[in-house]
Amino acid sequence: MQAPVNHIVGLTSIIRERLLPIEGTVLARLNQKVSPNDVIAEANWAREHVLLDVARTLQISPDAADRIIKCKVDDHLAASTEVAAGRGLFPRSVTAPRDGKVVVVGGGQVLMEVGETKIELRAGIPGTIIEIIPNRGAVIQTAGSLVQGIWGNGRIDSGSLVNIAEKPDGVLTVNRLDVSLRGSILLACMVQDAETLKAAAELPVRGLILSSLSPSLIQLAREVRVPIMVTDGFGSLPMNSAAFKLLSTNAKRDVTLNAEVYDRYSGARPEVIIQLPISSNPPMPNATETFAPGLQVRMRRPPALGMIGSIVSLPSGLTMLPSGLRAPSAEVKLENGEIIIAPLVNLEVVG
């Protein structure tokens, strides 16, 4: 049976596509070396639209209105620019209410885009541009350590990694936060109260790597401007030993935290990337594996939720579980030496 893989790898090649949400201009060049904060593409995006009903305002037919409309598609109009003027002794006119661009003209109406803002797409990770995707973005390659998580709040930043948790089940509290941590990405494991999240965001730190997050803090975590990645689950779970070991041994290095929102269909996942110097490109990790004895796995459901173990054997057929359900299962030896039976659908390979 194919096994899903959660990447926690000490040294690997990492290739990531970075795309604008809409079409725009790509600024990066092929083979360009980029830093996480480099802008590689940009686009203009209008937040709102304004529909000017010229025919109705001037009380004329749509065809008549079309004949007197002075603007055309793609015209940029400043606020108060006259769009059409009626006739008569006291002619009425229609003007652009705000600065904007004309996107549709017809049927006696004018539709404008207004409130335009610029979207900047940053590289997100340090590396080399290996492909340009016209009008949308680029593909970046780097090499280093990779730790993937299961939840992210959609933000991205980079900074120096500080291990403030000290142990996998450490709890970050407000009194542990001080100005010396400003600009750092914190390996913090658990956060159990809103005050701590708010204080970290206000400091501000550049990111939080958590083992688990209380569901009651999810909304706040989505709102804060600091990237937050969760490695193991919801509630009060310690960080799995593989992720904690890799991250804690890389403390004080510059890391990129891309807390991308997990998307099961596209495969986008939040991740920490730690660029390392290399002489040749290391191999890419496998996207899937086949369950086999010796593979390192992580428990996705109880018992031993979040713990790392290795597959001892794969009994044939269906195995009766303590719940009474029967499913294809594996015998897994946990790090504490305990051997448990776990259904294969509750396991993911770590590597």
Partner 1 sequence: MPASLIDGNSLLAVDVGAANTRAVLFDVVEGEYRFIASGTAPSTAEAPVKDVSEGVRDAITNLQAIVGKPMLDANGGLITPSQANGSGVDAMVVTLSAGPTIRTVVVGLLKDVSLESARRLTESTYARIVETIGMNDQRRPDQQIDSVLRARPDLVVITGGTDGGASRSIQKLLEPIGLASFLLPKEKRPAVLFAGNEKISAEVKTLVGSLAASLHFSPNVRPSLETEDLEPAERELARMVVNIRKHQIKGVDVLDLWSGGHILPTAYATGRMVRFLSKVYGAKKGLLSVDIGASATVISAGFKNNSTLNVYPQFGLGENLSALLYYTTLEDILRWSPLDIPTSVLRDYLYQKSLYPSSIAATKEDLAMSQAVARQALYLAMQSARRDFPRGIASIKPTLTPLFEPILAGGATLSSASHPGQGLLLLLDSLQPVGVTTVILDQNNLLPLLGAAASQNNLLPVQVIESGAFLSVGTVVSPVVSAAYGTPILRAKLTYESGVEARVELKYGSLELLPLATGESGKLAIQCLRGADVGFGPGRGSTITVSGGALGVVFDGRGRPLDLPTDAVRRHELIKKWNWTLGGE
Interface residue list for partner 1 (CB under 8 A): 1-2, 4-5, 22-23, 47-51, 53, 103-104, 111, 150-151, 215-216, 218, 233-235, 262-268, 287-288, 300-303, 305, 321-327, 341-343, 345-346
Identify which of residues 279 and 323 has a Cβ nearer to partner 1 in the complex. 323
CB nearer to partner 1: pick between 115 and 166: 115
Minimum CB distance to partner 1, residue 108 (Å): 11
Written as six digits, the tokens of 304 are 């031993």
Q: Going by C-beta distance under 8 Å and a sequence separation of 6 or more, which residues neighbour residue 333?
A: 309, 310, 312, 339
- Whole-number minimum distance, CB 252 to partner 1, in Å? 31
- To partner 1, the closest distance from the beta carbon of 35 in angstroms equals 28
Closest to partner 1 by CB, 132 or 321: 321
Kindly state the smallest distance separating residue 149's Cβ from partner 1, in Å.
Answer: 11
Shortest CB 302 distance to partner 1, Å: 5
Give whichever of 176 and 222 is closer to partner 1, judged by the CB atom.
222
Sequence-ordered list of residues with C-beta below 8 angstroms from that of 139, at least 6 positions apart, any chain: 15, 16, 17, 18, 129, 130, 131, 133
Comparison of 249 and 266: residue with beta carbon closer to partner 1: 266
167 vs 301, which CB is nearer to partner 1?
301
**Smallest distance from partner 1 to CB 233, Å:** 5
Residue 21 beta carbon to partner 1: minimum distance, rounded to whole angstroms: 10
Is the previous residue joined to 204 through a cis bond, with omega within 30 degrees of 0? yes
- Report the residue number, 246 or 305, with the smaller CB distance to partner 1: 305
Closest-CA residue to 228 (of 266, 178, 271): 271
Give the gyration radius of the chain's Cα atoms: 27
- Per-residue HEC secondary structure of the chain comes to CEEEEECEEEEEEEEEEEECCCCCEECCCCCCEECCCCEEEEEEEEEEEEEEEHHHHHCCCHHHHHHHCCCCCCCEECCCCEEEECCCCCCCEEECCCCEEEEEEECCEEEEEEEEEEEEEECCCCEEEEEEECCCEEEEEEEEEEEECCEECCCEEEEEEEECCCCCCCEECHHHCCHHHCCEEEEEEEECCHHHHHHHHHCCCCEEEEEEECHHHHHHHHHCCCCEEEEEEECCCCCCHHHHHHHHHCCCCEEEEECCCCCCCCCCCCEEEEECCCCCCCCCCCCEEECCCCCEEEECCCCCCCCEEEEEECCCCCEECCCCCEECEEEEEECCCCEEEEEHHHEEEEC
Q: How far is the CB of 92 from partner 1 (least distance, A)?
A: 19
Cβ-based nearer residue to partner 1, 185 or 229? 229
Residue number, 27 or 114, with CB nearest to partner 1: 114
Q: Least CB distance from residue 260 to partner 1, whole Å?
A: 12
